[in-house]
Structure 1
Amino acid sequence: MTESRLVSLFALPGLPEIAAGDDLGMLLARALRDERIELRDGDIVAIASKVVAKAEGRAVEISGRADHEGLVTEQSNRVVAERLSAAGTTQVVRSKAGPVMAAAGIDTSNVEGGKVLLLPGDADRSARELRRELAGRTGAHVGVIVTDTASRPWRVGVSDFALGAAGVNVLDDLRGHADSDGRTLKMTVRALADELAGAADLVKDKTLGLPVALIRGLGTYVVQDAAEHDAGRPGDEGAAPLVRDDEDDWFRYGHVEAIRAALGVRTGEVDSPPIDSGVDDLPSRVKRAIRVASAGTSPLSGTAGWVMRPIASGAAVRVTEAQHAAGLVKAPEGAHPMMVATAGLGALLQRLDAALWAEDLRGDHVIDWRPDGLPDHATVTIRLP
């Protein structure tokens, strides 16, 4: 007979509004005592990163949207995707904290006016310190998870995940184990700490001032040698193992950003599409594709000899020889100018095809030729896929 499991989750009331410099361990221990809750070995404390960040003084004053976007850049390692809205540019980035998040996890809710809240500087360290403090005050060997909220690719809505952890096995590697039919599992690695964070969020409530939850009944996932609180011990490496390395990330960029990166377009060189695709008309999409195809870098100098412009209200693109193109583009030694011009036009049309694809458009191109064999111009008819 399969052993049943009973897991209990409950929010911890009684925690005051947190300010910079507050002793979270002491405040949690006091709230537990006031609520007559006794921590037990194997309990897991899930605490919102916002509370940790406030105690660590991570609130920053800003004077406007430009400051906010500057902070996002400062707290980011790489832009994954970005879109425009009426309020400005929204970016999904690989944050310096590790996870891929919108706006690098910078929070504006429940923060004093004129300020925003950065993520904790090192959420794993914060979790270790809180675990050590709780062990010292209560004598219980517990796990600690610092949680945050993020949206998810391919799914609507947000969910909590483990930003930092201490004393908890964050991954449950089932590879090599047999399933109920006796087949060997080859791929299954459960994101255990994220599942715990998501479960805890069912009882936490930011609107009611309940940022902490206690999970009971899953002590098997808590590291039991609680006398040690050093980073990097086997089974207690913090939340870092949950973050997929760039080289293993199949989805490093959004589809628009992947095309732009391949064409050598730098972040911010061309405006991003709007968040609401419904407000983006055909002429705007075609003009943006032209800017993307014309920007960045091309391996062929001949592309500079041609210019693109939308015609027929964005229903087509005309590609013509640039004014004074002969002076702009010089054939490399040993190359025929006609070949350079022809290759450049072909390369530019291919760049435009790629840029149109990122706008969910397609192009059918026709080249008109001169009697001397040189390309005269090209017309690209735009169509929906």
Structure 2
Amino acid sequence: MSTRTNATFPSPIPAARRWLEGVTLPPDCPLINVSQAAPMAAPPAPMIDAMAQALGDTATHVYGPDLGLPALRTEVAKQWSRAYGGHVSADQVAITSGANHAFATAIAALCDLGDEVLLPVPWYFNHKMWLDMAGMRAVPLPCDDAMLPDLAAAQALITPRTKAIVMVSPNNPTGVEYPPSVLGAAYDLAKAHGLTLILDETYRDFRSSDAPPHDLLTRPDWDRTLVQIYSFSKSYRLTGHRVGALVARADLMGSFETFIDSVTICPSQLGQRAALYGLQTMGDWVAEQRRDIQARAKAIRHAMPRIAPMGWRLLGLGAYFAYLEHPFDAPSDVVAKRLAQEVGILALPGTMFTPEGDARGSRHIRIAFANIDAPTIAAMFERIARLDWPLAPQGGAA
């Protein structure tokens, strides 16, 4: 049977969890789950109280506008204008059922069957999966040793079928924050070729700097080139309520509305009310979460010398992620499965973020550390340091 869902690979998160089926870890080696980049805690009490109050409003339980609550669209426009120093209007904002839905919505509006989209490698796997299922061609865009997209290579990859260039910053899976100069150059390249730059900023609120991440929203006619994606899930612990946003030109909103209406009809009413409450009242709380994530990243960096003599290398660190190069004489999918089954560390291999057969992906492991504290980070690195698995030949590849 040939279907659109068979056109892509199985979802990596459930696939990795299946490694633990039938596995019993010893009591002194409890599972350390660093496979999924989503907060596991509930929203803070004030937000839960606000959501409880919203349950008493009949409007919370019925269909709302396809493009989202007007008050939330207006609040996003206001806060984005302030945060980026540009101008965004409410009619340039659509609310979606999470950031994945935002990406799918953007692709549906921008691309035809068989069109090409440049996707930096390592890529966010759900982007690749959606392009496969939607009948688009994901064109792998290589990254350099600093895990930054090679824009000279991007220039050479553009064809008459190319419709968009995708950037994710802070990046999933590497954690790397793309400098404003890189994002500006990607925007310029897209504009010069009449393409759209799709910029996924799901992890924006966990950046290492308070400065604007780029100046793209200050540029004249920015909306002719840029489509921006945001997620409320990570910043406000609303993953189960599925709320994201698209910022784009107003004349795309009709296409967005058509797609949204046929898939979800509207975003979650309760989730949108929670997102609005968060934007209006929880700025200090989000800043506190950001500091906590940065402290965990610092713990990762502090622990790296414990395993560096074995040949481990830290390739990227930021937001929710550490991206590591392993030293073993085996590909990363084998290494990751052994880590889960033998020492209780459930992490994802680089092979889940790269094209099949990609040599670099076979050397990489992603650690999503947002749900483990500093002592658990130290324990994880201690387990890794005790591994006596065969090492790859020096300078060789698994």
- Please give the TM-score of this superposition, normalised by the length of structure 1: 0.27
The structure richer in strand per residue is: 1
Higher relative contact order structure (alpha carbons within 8 Å, sequence separation ≥ 6): 2
- Please give the TM-score of this superposition, normalised by the length of structure 2: 0.26
The structure richer in helix per residue is: 2
Of structures 1 and 2, the larger Rg is shown by 1
